[in-house]
Amino acid sequence: MEATSAQGADGYDSRTRLKIVFRPSYFPGDRRNYAVLILLRDFAQSIDLSAPPTPRVVWDFITSDLASKNAADAAPALKSLLERGRLLLLFDGLDEVPQERRAFVRDALERFSAASAPANRFIVTCRILSYADPAYQLAGFEAQTIAPLDEDQIATFIATWYTALTALNAMDSATAAERMGDLGEALRGQGLLELAANPMLLTVMALVQNHLGTLPRETARLYSQCVDLLLLKWRPLDARALIDLLEIREDDLLRLVWEIAFDAHDQQAEREGTADIEQHVVEGIARKRLNDDAAKAQAFCEYIERRAGLLIGRGFNRYGGRIYTFPHRTFQEFLAGCHISVNRFTRQAETLARRGAGWRETLLLATGNLVFNQRNIDTPVDAVSAMLTSASPRHDDDDWRLYPLAGEMLLLVGLDNLEKDDVGRRALADARNGLAALVGEGHLPPIERAAAGRVLSVLGDPRPGVGLRPDGVPDIIWCDVPTGDFIMGSADGDNDEKPRRIMRLEHVYQIAQYPVTYVQFQAFVDSGSYDDAAWWRDLAADDDVKRVQEQEFKFANHPRETVNWYQAVAFTRWLSAKLDMNIRLPTEFEWERAARGTDGRTYPYGDVFDAAKGNTYETGIEQTSAVGIFLGGESPVGALDLSGNVWEWCLSAYEKPASDARDENMSSLARRVCRGGSWYGIGDDARAACRSPYPPGGYGGDLGFRVGRFA
């Protein structure tokens, strides 16, 4: 049995849209496997919490669901396939299960999968943040994060989209080919590939591009045009007839939909999936805005579901009332955000932000609606100012969580706009300082702290040692490394670490508190003297080796990765000239002394691995993080990020490292030592004694460096 928990990245739809594809007429000679989709939200509503969560509970739901779809005769064939290990069972939407029922659903799924034939395969989908709580994680299931679409997959989608429209006679082949090329070119030329990596957003963009001929980059503007298209322009005659019947304006129709979305989100924001909206609720809101006219309310419901497609029927409740939902959570969030944006947003923002992560995207879309659709930047800036005032003094995590959201809202306003008046400048400074304190003091769990660090990177990280001095030269904080004996190597590690031995550092030196950041290395690249022969003397570096590679995680305050040993050495020579200091890469002996101190500890912070004290695979960040955000992971000399984040180039050759830096052969092609482990590696790699060899011209998204200062 293969069991996988598939986590959809936040902002991405984690659902796999599949139909039940088994056939009631099962042929014993047919060796194909079959997929079955089970919606966990529906399963959760069917369970009796007073009964035990046995495997039978899951099977009974599957059979009852078949019966509700007039497919009860398929149950025997499905059971035969289950017993023979021929099924792929997709349990969709663990995050949409109400909190009070999630433990029951978790236990039932674990027991059902354990009791099934080993050859069956199980996939459970859930959003990442909803799966972070260990109490609700599935035992025996391997967690995998669903990747966004890559550029080739986006191109395939576009081709398939227009091929389908041609097949449906919606356009001729020549027009389809032209639109196909236009959309692909727009995605690349306007920098929209990141948005297009979300399948739902790509569908919306294709829809807007096909019908409106525009493709806005901003999510709020994109959804505004899509809603406008669906509600008013998809069937313009029907829309006009409805507006005339209801005796309202187009704007009133939009506000009615906004209120329905807000009410639904207000009741069910914590579910993270689309809300279930009962018909009487929709009609009640409609009647309130339509002079209590029941006939008009029913006409509105029929139009919004059958013609506009903004509400989708999901069946009936136990009393026979119809249940609706939005086609995607982002539609629900955007429409709810529109409602918030025109209803005392400055007062509501802080209150809703404190209600949890379920309101984050809604508030960002509300901000986007104000900025991009209403050309209003004052209201969101005032809302952020109120949020930051509320967050200070910072007493608990709820206060700290306001800062990343406030920063994201300010980014939507735009840094240039914020610099235009005192209120904007003050809000920007408060957000920067609050985020700097959050990451630097180690508040919030590592995944949230890393996300805050990314927001701070775009706002501008003011922490010393992370960026540049006013003169454009890298700002480095130095940590003193004293002379004396220290323990090097390991008795029980890899062979290249042995033996565990006493070494002596004969000279005082200083090591940088952080790895060299992206913005610091970029100062060298943009200096105008990157190719100066003085920086590359005695190095076997040709033009290919010198060529600057794209940073994989392009955040100013993250370590500069995808950099080779030659480039790291050249940077130290350039920085030496700029600072009038003797700066170079530390040897691995010097590096290990800075990481371990004198007591021979296994990690810079102690002898026991702790995923909360460095960015490794176990930490779950899944990329580099802003430097200096693991305060508890500092080494005895005060350096941070010596365990995890990126492997760090040392001056030393791997096979025969010289104990004295002056004896290193800089022109050798020998492999060089890297130390410290990385975000991509396991905790064992992040031990202070662990050595890893790389060719000097090698580079990767987990490979960076830090510098040392010597007499």
Token duo for residue 190: 């306007």
Domain at 2-146, CATH from 3.90.320, 2.60.120, 3.40.50, 1.10.8? 3.40.50
Report pLDDT digits (tens) over 68-102: 888 888 899 999 999 999 999 999 888 778 778 98
Report pLDDT digits (tens) over 543-600: 899 999 999 999 999 999 999 999 999 999 999 999 999 999 999 999 999 999 999 9
What are the E-state strand segments in 393-523?
A: 478-481, 484-488, 501-505, 509-512
Q: What pLDDT sits at residue 115?
A: 93
Give per-residue burial for 512-522: e unless 16+ CB within 10 Å, then b: bbbbbbbbbbb
Q: What pLDDT sits at residue 200?
A: 62
Q: What pLDDT sits at residue 24?
A: 33
Query: Which of 107-116, 160-169, 254-263 has the least mean pLDDT?
Result: 160-169
Q: What pLDDT sits at residue 187?
A: 87
Identity of the amino acid at 91: F
CA angle 340–346–347, rounded 5-degree value: 85
Q: 502: exposed, middle or buried (C-beta count within 10 Å: 0-12, 13-18, 19+)?
A: exposed
The answer to whether residues 605 and 632 touch, using CB atoms and an 8 Å cutoff, is yes
Give per-residue burial for 547-568: e unless 16+ CB within 10 Å, then b: eeeebebebbbbbbbbbbbbbb
Helix (H, G, I), strand (E, B) or coil at 174: helix
Average pLDDT (663-668) is 90
The CA distance from 268 to 356, in Å, is 12
CA R_g for the chain: 29
Report pLDDT digits (tens) over 395-443: 899 999 999 999 999 999 999 999 999 999 999 999 999 999 999 999 9
The CA distance from 376 to 467, in Å, is 32
In 10 A of CB 185, how many CB atoms? 10
pLDDT over 70 at 127, yes or no: no
The CA distance from 688 to 700, in Å, is 21
Name the percent of the chain lying above pLDDT 90. 68
Q: Which long-range contacts (CB under 8 A, 24 or more apart) does 212-217 make?
A: 215/183, 215/186, 215/187, 215/190, 216/372, 217/190, 217/191, 217/192
Helix (H, G, I), strand (E, B) or coil at 672: strand
Q: What pLDDT sits at residue 315?
A: 65
pLDDT over 80 at 45, yes or no: yes
The answer to whether residues 283 and 294 touch, using CB atoms and an 8 Å cutoff, is yes
Report residue 631's pLDDT band, with 50, 70 and 90 as the boundaries. Answer: very high
Question: Class assignment of domain 478-710?
Answer: alpha beta
Helices H / strands E in the chain, number of each: 26, 18
Among 393, 365, 394, smallest CA distance to 380 is for: 365
How much helix, strand and coil, in percent to the nearest 5, is found in the chain?
A: 50, 10, 40
The answer to whether residues 265 and 277 touch, using CB atoms and an 8 Å cutoff, is no
Those residues whose C-beta lies under 8 Å from the C-beta of residue 36, and which sit 6 or more positions away, are 20, 22, 62, 78, 87, 88, 89, 90
Alpha helix (H) ranges present in 422-491?
422-440, 446-459
Those residues whose C-beta lies under 8 Å from the C-beta of residue 145, and which sit 6 or more positions away, are 6, 7, 8, 9, 128, 622
Report pLDDT digits (tens) over 675-693: 999 999 999 999 999 999 9
Among 692, 689, 691, smallest CA distance to 490 is for: 689
Q: Are strands 322-325 and 277-278 parallel, antiparallel or unpaired?
A: antiparallel
Average pLDDT (355-372) is 95
Greater pLDDT, 201 or 659: 659
Q: 236: exposed, middle or buried (C-beta count within 10 Å: 0-12, 13-18, 19+)?
A: exposed
The CA distance from 90 to 644, in Å, is 35
CA distances from 624 to 143, 521, 562, 638, 680 (A): 20, 16, 12, 20, 9
- The H or E element containing residue 322 is strand 322-325
Q: What pLDDT sits at residue 31?
A: 57
List the domain boundaries for the chain: 2-146, 151-217, 377-459, 478-710
Token duo for residue 677: 């482990």
The CA distance from 413 to 63, in Å, is 52
Report pLDDT digits (tens) over 498-546: 999 999 999 999 999 999 999 999 999 999 999 999 999 999 888 899 9
The CA distance from 691 to 589, in Å, is 11
Residue 37, strand partner residues = 90
Average pLDDT (389-394) is 85
Among 307, 132, 330, smallest CA distance to 229 is for: 307
Q: What pLDDT sits at residue 28?
A: 43
Greater pLDDT, 127 or 274: 274
The answer to whether residues 310 and 327 touch, using CB atoms and an 8 Å cutoff, is yes
Token duo for residue 275: 């809300």
What are the E-state strand segments in 573-691?
A: 582-584, 647-653, 672-675
The CA distance from 47 to 61, in Å, is 8
Report residue 27's pLDDT band, with 50, 70 and 90 as the boundaries. Answer: very low
Alpha helix (H) ranges present in 555-597?
565-579, 588-596
The answer to whether residues 627 and 563 touch, using CB atoms and an 8 Å cutoff, is no
Report pLDDT digits (tens) over 445-465: 999 999 999 999 999 999 999
Considering the chain, what is the average pLDDT of its residues? 89
